[in-house]
Structure 1
Amino acid sequence: MTVAAGEVRVLLVDDQELVRAGLRLILREREGFVIAGECSDGDEVPAALEAAGGIDVVVMDLRMKRVDGIEATRRLRASGRRPPVLALTTFDDDELLAGVLRAGAVGYVLKDSPAEDLIRAVRAVAMGEAWLDPAVTGRVLRTYRAAAERPVLPSGLLTPLELDVLTAVARGMTDAEAAGALSVSAGAVEAHFARVREKLRLRDRAAAIVYAFDHGLVTPGGDSVPVAPDALQFSVLGPLRAWRGTRLLDLGPVRQQALLAALVLRPGTTVSAGELLDGVWGLEPPGTGGRVVPVYVHRLRKCLRSTGERTEDSVIGSDRGGYRFAGDRVRLDVTELTDRIAEASAAARGGDPAAAVDAYAGALSLFHGEPLAGLPGPFVEGERLRLTERRLSLVRDKASLQLQLGRTDDVVHELSALLAVHPHREPLAVLLMRALHRGGRRADALAVHRRTRERLRADLGVEPGTELVRELRVVLSSDQGPS
C-alpha cells in the first residue's frame, strides 16, 4: 500500500531500546504503520535506509552518542535522500530543536505528547505536511536567533493573499482551516502556498514556518496572555509544571508533586492532612505516617514563594481543618480550559460553528500530553481520568461542528489517530465513519466499523452499540456519499 492508502513505512532512530519499544507499540501495523527499520545511532541511518528500501518517515531522536539527530539529519539532506525527518525531543531541548529544524527536519514531536499526537505527526509528515507547535517553535527560534537583527521580508515579493497564506501556515493551520479563515478554497490555498515556496525558495512547510517566525510574520507567543515577571502559573494538562514568571520551578519528588496537585485542583477548598494522605498514598501509607504531609507542604511553600515573600504567606494556606490553595492568586490552565469551553459553547448556541471550532481548538491546544503524567495516587488517577474524558468530549464536539462545516478531511485526520489510541470509543468511530462516508470513502468507513467491532469483541466481549450499528446502516444504504 502507498501512504495515500494508509500504510506508512517508518524508520526509528533512538539510542534507547525502551523508547523504540514504546514507539513500536504506538505505531502498530494494524493501524497502518510498518516499522521498516531501527537504528540506535545517527551514523547507522544510511545503511538502515538501504536495507529497508522505501521509507516514508524517519523518526529521529536528537540526543545520541556518536552522531546526534542534527548531524544525521544534515547528512541525510546533503546526500539528496528525501525521506522526511520527524524529530523526537523533550520539552526543554530548545537549542537542539532549533538546530534540527535548520538542518532540514520537517517537524518534531515531544516525547511526552499523547500517543495520538505521535500518530498524527507521523501521518502528517508522511503526507508532506509539517508538524510544528507554533507556540513552542516561536520560543525555540527566539532562543536560537540570539541578538541578531530580524531580517526584513522583501517588499512586493509576495501578494497580499500569499502573505496571508504564509501567515496562516505559520500559525499551524491546515489548508482547510486556512481556506475557511481567508474565505477561499482549499485548492487556492495549496496553489498560493506553492507559489510562496517557489518565490522564497523554501523546501517544505516546516521551512515556511521557520521563515515566518524569522521575519516577524508570527510573533513568538503572540497569541498568549503576557506573563508578569513574578506571576505564578500552573499547568496540569500534561506533566505538572509551575512557573514563577518565565522561570520553571523544581517541584520536588513525585509524591510531593501529587500532594500539590491534590491542592491545586481543589482551589479555595480546605483539604485535611488525612485526605491528602489517602489521596496521595492510598492503601500504602508512608512509614512516617501523616508526619510527611506538613514536611511536603513546607517544602512546596518555599518552592512557590516569590522573592521577598515569607514562607507562611505562600499560596498554600492553612487553618484548623487542613490546607487550602489560593487559586485566585495564580494562573491555572484548567481555569483557562473552562473559559475556552464556555466560549465555544456560546458560539455554537449562537449559530457560529466556525467560531466554536476555533474555540474548541484553542481549548484542546492547552493539553500537552497525558494530564498529570507520571504522578501517583488515587486522587491523581481520578483527575487524570476526568481530564482525559473531558479532552475526548471536546474532540467529539469539535468534530461534530467540523462535519457541519464540511471539513471532513480535518475530522478524518484527527479521529483516525485518536481512535487508534482509544479503539473502544464507539462515539469516535461513529464520527470517523460519518466523515469518511461524507468524503466519498465508503469502503474506509466500513473498515472502521469492522475494526471497531473486532476490537470490542476480542477485548471486551461485547457487540457494537446502537449508534455504531445505525451508522453502519447509513453507510450501507448508499454507494455514493451520505444518505
Structure 2
Amino acid sequence: MRRGRSRSAGRVVTGPADAEIRVLLVDDQELARSGLRLILRPNDGFVIAGECGDGAEVPAALAATEVDVVVMDLRMKNVGGIEATRRLRQSGDHPPVLALTTFDDDELLAGALRAGAVGYVLKDSSAEDLIRAVRAVAAGDAWLDAAVTARVLTTYRQAAPDRAAGPPPGLLTAREQDVLRAVGRGLTDAEIAASLVISEVTVRSDLGRIFAKLGLRDRTAAVIYAFDHGIVNPGEVGRDHAPRPIVRDRPTVRAGSVSAPPLRFSALGPLRAWRGVAQLDLGPVRQQALLAALVLRSDQTVTDAELLDGVWGLEPPGTGVNVLRTYVLRLRTCLRAAGESTKESVIRRSRTGYSFVGHAVRMDVTRLREITAEAGAAEEAGELAMAVDACTDALDLFHGEPLAGLPGPFAAGERLRLVERKVKLSQQKAELQLRLGRYVETADELSAVLAVNPHREPLAALLMRALYARGLRAEALAVYRRIHDQLVRDFEVEPGEELRRTRAAVLRRDDGYLGFA
C-alpha cells in the first residue's frame, strides 16, 4: 500500500499507512550506488525503487515506478545532476531531489539548489546523516547546512538586478519579511517562532503566504531567494548544522584593551571556527589538521616532532618544520580578532613547540564533556528523564563524522575516540529510555544507530529488548539473525554471550531477564 500525500506550506505531509521510503539512486558509478544500497536498507524502512547511471535516465525511471526521494550525484559524464534536476522541475510535479556533493563542488552545489534540489549531503558525511537526510526530504523538509549554503550562494550569487532589492514594496508584511530573513539564516520553524514570539502554526501559515506571493516552490527556494536578493548576508547566518549552542555563557575574549567577539570551534563534524557569527576560512585540510592537533590539546605544548607525526604520519613534508611555521602564520592571521595586539593570537610558540590558548575559547568537545557529566549525575540522582534530555543534548552536538576529511594519525585517532563516545551516549540514552518505558522511540533511534554501527552487540541487545517490549518478538529475533550473519560474514565470529542470552530470553519470553517483570 502506498502512502497518501498532501502539500501544505511547502511541506509534504506523510500519511501513516506505510513507513517505507522509496528511493531512486542516480550515480554513474556502480561502486557508489552499491555503497548507497548498503546504507539505505529495507530493515531501516527504505526501498531502492530504481537505479540510474545517468541523469538522462531519470524521467523513464520515475515513469516506471513510484519514488519518494531521488538521491542524485551532481557529477555524471553525460547529463549531470544539475541538468537532470532542472528537467524534473520543468516537467511538473516530481519527487524531491537530494544532491550528493563534495567540499570542492561549491559551484555545482549552488547550481543544484537553484535547479530545484531541496537539500544536499556531502559525500564524506556519515551514513547516519544520509539516512536522516533522506527521511527528512521524504517528509517534505529541506536538508541544508546553513553555513555551507551561505558560502556557496554568496560566492555564486545569481545576478538579478531587477529584483536585487528584494520583493516589491508592500508585497510582504513586516512579519513575513522577518520570517523570510529567518528562513534564509537557516532557522527552523521552532527557532523562528521563538525569535519572533509567535506560534509555529503562525510561522507555517506565514511561510505558505510567502511561497505563494513570491512564486516559490519550497523552503530551499526561499533560502536561495533570500540570498540572491540581499535579504540575508553571510554574516547574518545564525545557525549551522550543530543545532544547539555549544555553551550557555557568552564569554568575551579580550586582546589587550580591545573587546573581541568570542572564538568558537566545532570538531564534532567537519572542523569549523567562528569569530562571533562569522565563519572563518581555515584553509587547506593539512592546515586544518594542524589546527585540530593544537585545539584538541589546548594549553599543552605540542612539539614540532609530535605535530609532524600527527599530521603527516609516515609521509613527512619535504620542507620539514618550515611547513609548520607557514601554516601557523596563516592560522594566526585567520584566527586573530580585529584590533588584536598580539601577533601570536591564540597560537603561542615556545622553545620546543606550539600551544593553543584555550581560555575563553568555546569548543563543542568541551561542552560534550560537560553535558555527559550532567547526564551521569542526573542518572545517579534517579532523575532518568533529565538524564535522557542531557544525552539528547550531547548527541545533538554531533553533526556528521568528527573531524570529517582531516588527514593524519592524530585526526584519525580523535575521530575514533569521538565516534566511540557518540555510540556510548546512544547506548546510555537507550538504557535510560527502556527504564522509562519509552519503547517506540528507543527502537526507532537504535535502528538508525545500528544502521551505521552494524557490529555493536550491546546496541543490538537493547534493540531486541525494545522490540520485545512492544510485542514485536519476531522482529527482535530478526535483529539477532541480522547481526549474527554480519559478524560471521565480516569477522568469522559468533555473537557474544550477552547477545546470545538476550536471544534465549526472547525465545522463552523471560520478562524478568529482559527487565520488564
> If the length of structure 1 is used for normalisation, what is the TM-score?
0.73
Structure 1: distance between partners of 2:115 and 2:394? 30
Whole-Å Cα distance in 2 between the matches of residues 278 and 146 of structure 1?
A: 52
1:307 aligns with 2:338: yes
1:186 maps to which residue?
A: none
**1:35 alignment partner in structure 2:** 48
Match in the other structure for 1:115: 127
Residue by residue, what CA displacement relative to the aligned partner does 1:150-179 show, whole Å, maximum 9, x if unpaired?
6659xxxxxxxxxxxxxxx9449xxxxxxx
Q: 2:49 aligned with 1:49, yes or no? A: no
Structure 1 residue 11: Cα displacement: 0.4
1:437-469 CA-partner distances (Å, limit 9, x unpaired): 112211111000011111112222222112211
State the shift of 1:356 in Å: 2.2
Q: Contact conserved, 1:56 with 1:84, CA < 8 A, in 2?
A: yes
Task: Indicate whether 1:26 and 2:42 are aligned.
Answer: no
- The correspondence for 1:354, drawn from 366, 377, 385, is 385
- The aligned amino acid for 1:237 is L
1:231-270 to structure 2, matched below 5 A, reads 231-270=262-301
CA deviation profile, 1:371-421 (whole Å, cap 9, x unmatched): 111112221111111001001111111122222333222222222122122
State the distance in 1 between where 2:312 and 2:404 align. 16
> Secondary structure of the equivalent of 2:49?
strand
CA displacement at 1:44 relative to structure 2: 4.4
**Structure 2 counterpart of 1:119, one-letter code:** I
1:261 and 1:380 in contact (8 A); partners too: yes
Using the TM superposition, give the Cα deviation of residue 293 of structure 1 relative to its aligned residue in structure 2, in angstroms: 2.4
Q: In structure 2, do the counterparts of structure 1 residues 104 and 296 end up closer, same or farther at CA, with 3 Å as the change threshold? A: closer
Range that drifts further, 53-62 or 260-269: 53-62
In 2: Cα distance, 1:364 partner to 1:476 partner: 33
Residue 283 of structure 1: how far off its partner (Å):
2.5
Q: Would you say the 8 A contact 1:436–1:444 is kept in 2?
A: yes
> Aligned residue for 2:10?
none
List runs of 5+ in structure 1 lacking aligned partners: 154-168, 173-191
- Give 2:353's aligned residue: 322
Give the structure 2 partner of residue 461 of structure 1.
492
Give the one of 428, 447, 470 matched to 1:397.
428
Distance in 2 separating the partners of 1:67 and 1:242? 30
Following TM superposition, by how much is the alpha carbon of 1:10 offset from its aligned partner in structure 2, in angstroms? 1.4
User: 2:323 is aligned with what amino acid?
Assistant: V
CA RMSD of aligned residues (A): 4.5
Following the alignment from structure 2 to structure 1, what is the Cα–Cα distance between the partners of residues 312 and 144? 36
Cα distance in structure 2, aligned partners of 1:279 and 1:220: 33
**Amino acid paired to 1:48:** A
Query: What is the CA deviation profile of residues 27-62 of structure 1, one whole-angstrom value per residue up to 9, with x for unaligned ones?
Result: 3567664433234666643222123x2324322457
Structure 1 distance, partners of 2:393, 2:469, is: 26
Give the 3 Å change call, closer, same or farther, for CA 227–115 of structure 1 in structure 2.
Answer: farther
> Structure 1 residues 101 and 347 mapped into 2: Cα distance closer, same or farther (>3 Å)?
farther
Give deviations 1:100-148, integer Å, cap 9, x for gaps. 699695x66554432022224435655x4747579879989x9999866
Cα separation, 2, equivalents of 1:93 and 1:411: 37
1:11 to 3, 24, 47: 24
- CA deviation profile, 1:249-278 (whole Å, cap 9, x unmatched): 232332222121111111111111111122
Q: Using a 3 Å threshold, how does the CA distance of structure 1 residues 426 and 270 change in structure 2: closer, same or farther?
A: same
- Structure 1 residue identity aligned to 2:389: D
Greater shift in the superposed pair: 367-376 or 18-27: 18-27
Which whole-Å deviations, capped at 9, do the CAs of 1:188-239 have from their partners, x for residues lacking one? xxxx99xx99xx7999xx979999xx9xxxx964964679773222111111
Change (3 A) 1:73 1:340: farther
Classify 1:324/1:360 alpha carbon distance in 2 versus 1 (closer, same or farther; 3 Å): same
Aligned residues: 432
Matches within 5 A, 1:53-452: 53-60=65-72, 65=80, 67-68=82-83, 71=86, 74-75=89-90, 78-79=92-93, 83=95, 85-86=97-98, 88=100, 105=118, 109-123=121-135, 128=139, 130=141, 132=143, 152=175, 170-171=189-190, 221=239, 224=245, 230-310=261-341, 312-452=343-483
Classify the secondary structure of the residue corresponding to 2:359: helix
Distance 1:281 1:362 in 2: 34
Does the 8 A contact of 2:99 with 2:117 survive in 1?
no
Question: CA 1:256 to 1:18, structure 2 compared with 1: closer, same or farther past 3 Å?
Answer: farther
Extract unaligned runs of 5+ from structure 2: 4-16, 158-163, 177-187, 192-199, 212-216, 227-236, 253-259
Q: Is the 1:301–1:311 Cα contact (8 Å) retained in structure 2? A: no
Q: Identity of aligned pairs, percent? A: 56
What CA distance in whole angstroms lies between the structure 1 residues aligned with 2:2 and 2:497? 34
Provide the rounded CA distance (Å) in 2 between the counterparts of 1:208 and 1:112: 25
Write the distance in 2 (CA, Å) between the matches of 1:248 and 1:364: 22
Distance in 2, Cα, partners of 1:104 & 1:290: 45
Closer, same or farther in 2 for the Cα pair 1:347/1:147, shift >3 Å? farther
Q: 1:467 to 1:171 in 2, by over 3 A?
A: farther
TM-score (norm. length: structure 2): 0.69
Give the CA deviation at 1:13. 3.6
Given that residues 202 and 208 in structure 1 are in contact (C-alpha distance below 8 angstroms), is that contact kept between their aligned partners in structure 2? no
1:472 is paired with a residue whose SS is helix
Q: Return the alpha-carbon distance in structure 2 between the equivalents of residues 383 and 339 of structure 1.
A: 18
SS in 2 for 1:374: coil
Task: Identify the residue that residue 157 of structure 1 maps to in structure 2.
Answer: none
Contact 1:281–1:377 (8 Å) recurs in 2 = yes
Code of the residue aligned with 2:22 in structure 1: it is R
